[in-house]
Amino acid sequence: MTLARYLIRRVCHSIPTLIGALLFIFILVRVLPGDPARLIAGPEALEEDVQRIREQLGLNKPIYIQFVDYVSTILRGDFGRSIKFGTPVINEILFRLPYTIALALVAEVIAVSVALPLGILSALKPNSKVSYITSVISLIGASTPSFWIALILIYVFSVSLKLLPSSGAESPRHIVLPAITLSLLLMGNLTRITRSSVIEVLSSNHVLTAVAKGLKDRVVIMRHVLKNALIPIITIMGLQVGNLLGGAIITETVFAWPGIGSLLIDAIFFRDYILIQGIILFMVLTFIIINIVVDVIYAYVDPRIRDVLWRMS
Amino acid sequence: MEKVLEVVDLRVYYEIPQGTVKAVDGVDLDVFKGEILGVAGESGSGKSTLALTIAGLLRPPAKVVSGKVLFKGVDILKLGNDELRSIRGRKIGIIFQDPVTYLNPIYTVGFQVGEVFEAHRGGKVSKYFSEVINLFKAVRIGDPERRVYTYPHQLSGGMKQRVLISMAIAEKPELIVADEPTSALDVTIQAEIVELLNEIRKELNTSVVFITHDLALLLEIADRIAVMYAGKLVEVGRAYEIYKDPLHPYTKALISTLRYERKKRPTPIKGSIPSLINPPPGCRFHPRCPYVMPKCSQVDPKLSSVGGRLVSCLLVGDGGGGS
Amino acid sequence: MEDELILKKVSEARRKQLTSMWVVFKSNRVAYASLYVLAGILLLVVIGFIYTPYNPYEFDLSKARQPPSPQHLLGTDELGRDILSRLMVGGRYTVGISFISVLLGSLIGSILGLISGFFGGRVDTVIQRVVDVALAFPTSLLAIALMVSLGPGVLSLIMAISISTFPVYTRLVRGVVLQVINEDYIAAVKLLGRSSWYIIFKHVLPNVSSPIIVQTSYYLGFSILLASALGFLGLGIPPPTPEWGSMVGTGRVYLFSSPHIVVFPGLFITATALSFNLIGDGLRDALDPKSRMFLRRF
């Protein structure tokens, strides 16, 4: 009951942010040098054609009216038409979205299956081999440029060993290298956060109480350490979607993986500003929505927050 | 009288990058059956470390460097993990200071108290809920049938502390270590909790080691008092006698802050608590002692017997040991 | 007389605190070693201002794509330019721009955070909203969007990275400010007639400096990766400027035949970012003793 209320409250809170983001994206494109109408029309077009296009796009109206128009078209789900392809932007995005989602999911699965166990073990056994490996992995993930790691992986696995393909998305094997690259990025952060979260919970007082009761070590760890540590970890995992989106842009570009990340870069090089605008908007929207979802899950999981909400409503 | 606990020349040190913290540096202590022994000391005196060591809850970077802690004749410092576990919560209970952080926020209080039973009797926690309710009644938590299902943050400080107390007494232990159980509470609640502990002591005939910085509190409830300073004990004796006639200069200063005539201001003890990494040479209190003699910076006095009291001061005892 | 004594004791205590922090930092051997690595890289860059083995811009196609040799320690790139020289000069851009941007971002962010926390009310709400909008973007996306809008170039890159990094500082500083001004002793200080500036400098700044320092060290590593990623994508500084990321970007097609063109710039990027991260870890342990002190073990 109250969770729904919290959800609505969070959504309302996000609306001004969303509008701000829309404004920012809107200005982004308008600030660009060059005349968008001419760009669309092409360098050989006649002046009246350019003028016609300008009127079509409403580019001669005052700027605030343009913004309002922009917002209302967005609300209708119309992200405009791509300059390069001529097709609706939203179609382009939706067509390539599944690829990005697939890549993101596989990368996340890999990252979580490696990072969580390693993080937990290295927190429980500091100064051990596990701890060392974990540090190394987390440092690699956090300090190496992902485009470089991608190229190295390509060199080793595609060129030298000829084991895995390096570009495109024709077969399931094609997802391996890009997913590993992306997951390394995530792992860097996730191992560190997992480990520090567990360490922090380990040194908290309620764990001492649990030990003082005479509970078995395993029980203490499972009940009083991990469950408590998992709460912030899950929150961070949700926020990692931002890293996923950003990292996907580079990974998809290097591996020519046909997702929305590489679509953005293509759009940038085609100077297809409407497409650029649309993709950025889409990504921001996704990020905002995921943040809201994460907040709600967090509120559900932590009884303290649940009660604060109950009292607030 | 039967001795429940005997601490023999205990030294507990911590290694940190800045040096070695000598938190407990040669402490000898006896606890008799059914008595309330108060341990008084300022923060930084090492008393919490002492509490944790007695309860068998010491963790790295703290290490027992030497000494014994004999619980009913058995040195718990030498026990294996399993044996320690059977003592924790069942033979020795501990009540911590800050009920907010010492309770797990994501489980109900009933569950957390029930865990004590689960740990020592097995089975699922849920089957012990009726016993938990009885415990809550014993520690005077109102509306216990409902309260077992509440979360810690829904309870007041005093009630949380009662929950911690009920955890400690659940299996009727022979020794209860209370590490500043009242310091985080309002004065009025403090009195109730102290009263409760006294009753529990009488009912279960259990011994209580009551650790606090509040000497006044100890004077009311404790049978004997041990005064701790900078990792060592400076005076041990019957509570009333210490109040009437404190022997060690530190104790004297503490007592004088408690009783002062209305016109005069209480005089603080000059100086500040010494670092436990680099304690002063000789008697640790000498830099702040109003009766300091040149000898005091060279010889570190041991606890010696002075008419039924143990004092470590060159002025009073011979400072040469022999308790 | 007593006041002087107290002040002396306070500055002594401060000095002792700083020394002990340094001791803790030094005891972290990896972090300490990173200082040396970083110093080495910076030294190379600084030397690059006065001397490089070859002209980093002069190309000679007959010498293109040569592997490392005694004449060219790190080999030559696709246009025959000496890679080592290009790295030395490029460091100015990759490292220098990151430095400036993060410094700028931290400055702007912290000042905004101070203003926001201190003055509250409408100002706070406005600033908070702006920060919310900035944080609604994944950081790399924000930087990319800004570069698209501002166009390539050094100034744009600096602006893009500063704007991408300032929001975290604002949130950080504002949090600390709000915490501090709610303490009771601040009310006392105010009653004594001290100005707000005094409160800021004497009470807020000390509390806020360690999280800022730790965050900055991490952000320095992050911005190196960000700047080079933008360079790789062709969104950063246009060629022929030897920014490390764009070196990887242009050399990418020759990965199969001459991997060294890609490997060495990436190595430098990694080494720099790694050092910053390790130093950040070391700083965090040194400045916040609680985080490492009592490791629990069963």
C27 Cα to chain B: minimum distance (Å): 7
**CB contact (8 A) between residue C293 and residue B59:** no
Q: B185-218 pLDDT, tens per residue?
A: 888 888 888 888 888 888 888 999 999 988 888 8
What is the number of H-type helices and E-type strands within chain C?
11, 0
pLDDT band at A25 (very low <50, low <70, confident <90, very high): confident
User: What pLDDT was estimated at residue A306?
Assistant: 63
B20 Cα to chain C: minimum distance (Å): 13
Cα dist. B51→A53, A213, B56, B94, B210 in Å? 82, 15, 9, 9, 9
The DSSP element (H or E) to which A111 belongs, if any, is helix A89-124
Q: B34-84 pLDDT, tens per residue?
A: 899 999 888 777 888 899 898 888 887 788 888 989 988 888 888 888 888
Give the mean pLDDT of A47-54.
73
Give the mean pLDDT of C51-76.
80
Which stretches of chain B sit within 8 Å of chain A by CB?
Answer: 55, 57, 81, 85-90, 93-94, 96, 98, 101-107, 112, 115-116, 118-120, 151, 153-154, 164, 167
- Residue B31 forms beta bridges with which residues? B5
More confident residue, A296 or C265: C265
CB nearest B85 (choices: A216, A227, A307)? A216
More confident residue, B66 or A51: B66
Of C136, C111, C132, C115, nearest in space to C124 by CA:
C115
CA distance C198 to C205: 10
* Most confident among B219-233, C46-60, C204-218 (mean pLDDT): B219-233
User: What pLDDT was estimated at residue A32?
Assistant: 66
**CB contact (8 A) between residue C136 and residue A246:** no
CB nearest A205 (choices: B81, B90, B96)? B96
User: What pLDDT was estimated at residue C99?
Assistant: 92
More confident residue, B319 or C95: C95
Q: The tokens of C151 are what?
A: 């166009």
C278 Cα to chain B: minimum distance (Å): 19
What is the number of H-type helices and E-type strands within chain A?
14, 0
User: What pLDDT was estimated at residue B323?
Assistant: 38
Domain ranges of chain A: 98-312
Q: Which residues contact A240 (CB under 8 A, 6 or more apart)?
A: A108, A186, A189, A190
pLDDT above 90 covers a percentage of chain B that reads 16
Strands B175-179 and B92-95: parallel
Does C238 reach chain A within 8 Å, measured CB to CB?
no
CB nearest B61 (choices: C24, C27, C294)? C294
**CB contact (8 A) between residue C27 and residue B60:** no
What is the complex's ipTM, to 2 decimals? 0.85
**CB contact (8 A) between residue A215 and residue B57:** no
User: What pLDDT was estimated at residue A97?
Assistant: 92
B62 Cα to chain C: minimum distance (Å): 9
More confident residue, B5 or A164: B5
**C-alpha atoms less than 13 angstroms from C-alpha of B204 in its C-beta half-sphere:** 24
More confident residue, B69 or A89: B69
pLDDT above 70 covers a percentage of chain A that reads 89
Give the mean pLDDT of A95-119.
92
Interface test with B, best of A124, A209, A219 (most B CBs within 10 A): A209
Give the mean pLDDT of C248-253.
88
Q: Is the pLDDT of residue B258 over 80?
A: no
B291 Cα to chain A: minimum distance (Å): 41
Q: Is the pLDDT of residue C104 over 90?
A: yes
What is the total residue count of chain B?
323
Q: C13-43 pLDDT, tens per residue?
A: 778 777 877 777 777 777 888 888 888 888 8
**CB contact (8 A) between residue A217 and residue B106:** no
User: What pLDDT was estimated at residue C200?
Assistant: 66
pLDDT band at A100 (very low <50, low <70, confident <90, very high): very high
User: What pLDDT was estimated at residue A182?
Assistant: 93
Which residues of chain C lie closer than 8 angstroms to B59, CB-CB? 294, 296-297
State the DSSP code for C60. Answer: -
CB nearest C23 (choices: B17, B59, B60)? B17
Q: Render B65-121 in DSSP notation, one character per residue.
A: EEEEEEETTEEGGG--HHHHHHHBTTTEEEE-S-HHHHS-TTS-HHHHHHHHHHHHH
Touching A (3+ Cβ pairs <8 A), the chains are B, C
CA distance B70 to B89: 17
pLDDT above 70 covers a percentage of chain C that reads 91
Q: Which CATH number fits domain A98-312: 1.10.10.10, 3.30.2350.10, 1.10.3720.10, 3.40.640.10?
A: 1.10.3720.10
Q: B144-156 pLDDT, tens per residue?
A: 889 899 999 889 8
User: What pLDDT was estimated at residue A33?
Assistant: 61
CB nearest C133 (choices: A17, A245, A249)? A17
User: What pLDDT was estimated at residue C115?
Assistant: 87
CB nearest B59 (choices: C23, C27, C294)? C294
User: What pLDDT was estimated at residue B164?
Assistant: 92
For residue A157, with 0-12 CB atoms within 10 Å meaning exposed, 13-18 middle and 19 or more buried, which class applies?
Answer: middle
User: What pLDDT was estimated at residue B262?
Assistant: 58
Q: A265-281 pLDDT, tens per residue?
A: 998 888 788 888 889 99
For residue A97, with 0-12 CB atoms within 10 Å meaning exposed, 13-18 middle and 19 or more buried, which class applies?
Answer: middle
